[in-house]
Amino acid sequence: MTRNRGIRDRREAKSSERRSSSQKRSRQNVRSAGMTLSQPPSDSEPPGQPELGMKLTHLGNRFATASDTARKWLTSDWRIPVAISLALTGGLTTLSMAFLLKLPAVPNCPSVFWPLASGSLRLHCAQLAAGKRTTNDLLEAIKLLGTLSADHPLYDEATRMVELWSKDILDLGEEAFNAGKLDEAIGIAKKVPQQSVVKAEVEGRIKRWQGIWSKAEEIYQGAEDALRKENWRQASTNASRLLSIDNRFWQTTKYQELAEKISITRDDISKLAKAKDLLDQGGLKNLQEAVKLASEVQDQSYVYQAAQGVLAKTGQKLFDLAEATLNQRDLNGALESIRQIPAAANLQNEVEDFEKLAIAQSRTWSGNDADFDSAIASAQSIGADRPLYAKARQLVERWQLEKADLAQLNRARQLAQSGRPEDIQAAIANAAQIPSSNPRSAEAQKLVSQLTADFQTKQDRPILDQAEQLASAGDLASLQSAIVQIDRIGAGRALFTEAEDRRQQWQRQIRQIEAQERALAAPPSPTTDATGSLFQNPQSTQSQEIQADQQTLETARSAANGGTIDDYANAIRLADGVPETSAVRGQAQQFMDQLSQQMYLAARSQSDFDMLGAIASAEKIPPRTDAYAQAQQLIRSLRRSLGQ
C-alpha cells in the first residue's frame, strides 16, 4: 500500500513539472506575440489579413500597458519584492525538505516482473516472504534467490539466507512432528532444497522421527493389548513409558488419552469381575445384577467383547433357569426368568419360542385331552427355521405319549374300582405296560405298586390270620406251625413287615420254651475219677456244640430281619455255616429254604414291572435251597421275554 502511494506521488510530481513547463512556454509565446504585435507589419504580410493584424496589434498594446503598470506597482514599495522573495525562498526550502525526508516507495512484490527484477529487489521480496515463516513462503523465498549467479554481489548474502531458511523449513517439520503430525513433518522435511547444506540432515531427521514414532506406537499398542486382557496394571506401566518418549505429542496428548482409557477400563474390569461372581452364584436376582453390571460397559471400552461374553453366558444361564423353573410347574417364574435375558445374548428367537412352548406345556398339567390337543397344536406351529423347532417336535411326541399313558392309567383305575382280584390283576397288567421311558412311567409305577399292595394284602391277610390262630395255642408245635404258615408271605409283599414281626415274636417264645426244656434236662455235674482228677462228660461237650450252632442260626435269622433280597442272601450264607452233622442242621436247612422261597416270590413279583431287576434278584438265590430250580427257570423265562 505504501509502495502504491509512493508511485502515485512521483506521478503527480512529474505531472506538476509538465504543467509548469507548459505555463512557462505559454508566457514566452505571449511575450513573443506581444513583441511581434508591437512591431509594425511588414510589407511581406500576406494580403487579405488586415483585420487580424489589427487585433493582434491591439492585444500587444494591452499586454505592454499591463506590464508597465505591474512594474510601476512593484517599484512603488520595496517591501513587496522582499515579501515575494521570502515566500519563494520558504516554499523552495519546504519542498526540498519534503523530498529529502520522504520514504522511498515499497515495491509491490506480487506484481513484480521477475525476469527484469534486480537482485536487491529479489532479496527484499524473499525476506518479506520468509518472514511469514510457512513452508510454502520459505520455499518461495529460496526460489527467488536461486537465480542469482555466483558472481552477483548479493550471492553470498543470498546463500546465507537460503541456508537459514532451509533450517527453518526443517524446524517447521520438527514442530509438526512434536504436534503429532508425522506424515506432514516428513513431507515438510523432504521439501528442503537439494542444494542446501541442511539437506544432509533430512534423512537422519526423518529416520529419527520414524523410530521415535514406532517406539511410541509399540508402547501404546502394548497398553491397549493389556487392557483387552483386563490387565490394567501392565497398561499403566506401559503408559508411564510414554513420558520418556522424545516427542511432545506422545508425552502429553497421547499419555493423557491413554491414562483416561486405563481409568475407564479399570472401572469396567471391576464391574465384569463382580458380574462373573454373580454369574457363578446363580439365582434370578444375581443373574439380573450381573446383566446390569455387564451392560454398563460401553462399546468403546477395551473389555467390551469380554462384557458381551458375560452377557451371553448370563443369558444362557437365565434360559436354563427358566427351563428348570418350568419343569417345576412354575409358569410365571419361568417367564420372569426368560424375559430377563439381555439382547446382547442374541437369544431373542429362542425367548419367543420358549414363551410359546412354556404356555403350551402349562396347559398339559391339567391332564385334560382338550388341553393336550391345544398344547400339541401350539408346538406344531413352530416352524423348521426356528431355533427351538427340535425341542417343539420332542414335546409334541412326549405329549402324545403322555396323552396315551393317561388314557391307559385311567382305564387301569377304572378296572381296579371293582375290587375283584381278577380286575385288580388286569389293572396292574394294564398300568405295567407303560414303558419306563414314557413321561408318565413314574405315575404308572406308583399305581402298579398301590394296586399290587392292595392285591397282595387281600391274598396274604388270610394267611397271616391263620398263622396267628395257630400260634394262639402257645405250645412249641403250634408256634413252629405258625412260623411255617407265615413264611408263605414272601419278602417284598405288602404284609411282609407285619408277618416278619409276628415271626420274630413267635421265635422268641420258642426260644423261651426250648430254654426251659433244656434246663429241665440238664446233665449231671462233672465228677472225679479214682485218682481224683476231673473229667468232662461227653454229653456236655455235645450240648455246647449244639448251642454254638443254634447261635449261628440265630445270627442268620437276625441278618434276615432287614427284609431285602440282599439281607436274605446274607442270612442263607450264615445259616449254611451250620455243619451237616449238627443236630441243628435241619432247622438251618428249613430256614434257608424258607428264605429262598421268599426271594423267589419277591423276584417274581418284581418281574411284573422290572424284568431286569427281577433277574438280578433271582440270581442271588443260592444253590442247595428249595427255590433255586424255580429261580433258574424264572431267569430263563424273563430273558426270553427280553430277547436276550
Q: What is the pLDDT of residues 148-159, one digit of tens each?
A: 667 777 667 767
Mean pLDDT of 576-590: 83
**102 pLDDT higher than 50:** no
When pLDDT is cut at 50, 70 and 90, the band that residue 356 belongs to is very high
pLDDT at residue 72, rounded to an integer: 62
As a whole number, the mean pLDDT across the chain is 78
Which pLDDT does position 524 carry in this prediction? 53
Query: Which of the four pLDDT bands, split at 50, 70 and 90, describes residue 44?
Result: very low
Residue 529 has pLDDT above 80, yes or no: no
53 vs 16, more confident: 53
Separation CA 186–CA 184 (nearest Å)? 5
Q: Which residue has the higher pLDDT, 525 or 408?
A: 408
**Residues written for the chain:** 644
DSSP output for 361-377: HHHHTT--HHHHHHHHH
pLDDT at residue 40 tops 80? no
> Which residue, chain included where needed, has cell 509491490?
108
Give the separation between CA 613 and CA 615, rounded to whole angstroms: 5
Range scoring the smallest mean pLDDT among 344-348, 446-450, 526-530, 542-546: 526-530
Contact 184, 176 (CB under 8 A): yes
Q: Please say if the pLDDT value at position 55 is more than 60.
A: no
First to last CA, the chain: 119
CA distance 144 to 122: 6
Report the alpha-carbon distance of residue 34 to residue 547 in Å, rounded: 195
605 near 492, Cβ under 8 Å?
Answer: yes
CA distance 192 to 376: 84
pLDDT of residue 9: 42
Query: In whole angstroms, how large is the CA radius of gyration of the chain?
Result: 66
> Which of 254-258, 354-358, 427-431, 437-441 shows the lowest per-residue confidence on average (mean pLDDT)?
437-441
Compute the CA torsion angle 214, 219, 220, 225 (nearest 10 deg).
120
Residues ≥6 apart with Cβ < 8 Å to 494:
452, 453, 454, 456, 457, 460
Asked whether residue 346 carries a pLDDT value surpassing 60, the answer given is yes
pLDDT digit string (tens) for 243-293?
999 999 999 999 999 999 999 999 999 999 999 999 999 899 999 999 999
Report the pLDDT value the prediction gives residue 21, as an integer from 0 to 100: 46
The model's pTM is: 0.49
Question: Which residues does 441 contact at the CB level (< 8 Å), separation at least 6?
Answer: 405, 434, 435
Dihedral sign, Cα of residue 221, residue 227, residue 229, residue 234: positive
**What are the CA-CA distances from residue 132 to residues 129, 169, 484 (Å)?**
6, 12, 129
For position 255, what pLDDT does the model report? 93
Among 347-351, 479-483, 503-507, top mean pLDDT goes to 347-351
94 vs 102: CA distance, rounded Å: 12
Query: What are the backbone dihedrals phi and psi of residue 131, each rounded to the nearest 5 degrees, phi first?
Result: -65, -20
On whether the CB atoms of residues 592 and 621 are closer than 8 A, the answer is no
Q: How far apart are CA 145 and CA 135, in angstroms?
A: 16
Residues 6+ apart with CB under 8 A from 490: 496, 597, 598, 599, 600, 601, 602, 605
What is the average per-residue pLDDT within 140-145?
Answer: 68
What local confidence, expressed as pLDDT, does residue 629 receive? 85
Residues 6+ apart with CB under 8 A from 305: 228
- pLDDT for 24: 45
Predicted confidence at residue 54, as pLDDT, reads 62
Determine the Cα angle at 345 with ends 344 and 347, to 5°: 120
Least confident of 168-182, 293-307, 511-525, 583-597: 511-525
The rounded distance, in Å, linking the Cα atoms of 46 and 591 is 194
Is residue 609 within 8 Å of 432, Cβ to Cβ?
A: yes
pLDDT at position 23: 43
Report CA-CA distances (Å) from 302 to 183, 191, 230, 276, 345.
27, 40, 8, 17, 19
The pLDDT assigned to 475 comes to 85
Task: Give me the residue label for grid cell 506422545.
Answer: 250
Mean pLDDT to the nearest integer, 231-254: 91
In 3D space, the residue among 473, 504, 478, 503 whose CA is nearest the CA of residue 488 turns out to be 503
Task: Give the torsion sign (CA, 78, 79, 83, 86).
Answer: positive
Question: Which of 41-45, 193-197, 367-371, 583-587 has the least mean pLDDT?
Answer: 41-45
The pLDDT value given to residue 483 = 86
* Neighbouring C-alpha atoms within 13 Å toward the C-beta of 138: 21
Mean pLDDT along residues 173-181: 89
* Res 13 pLDDT > 50: no
**C-alpha dihedral (597, 450, 463, 563), degrees to nearest 10:** 40
Q: Which helix (H) or strand (E) holds 115?
A: none
* Angle formed by the axes of helices 585-606 and 628-641, nearest 10°: 20
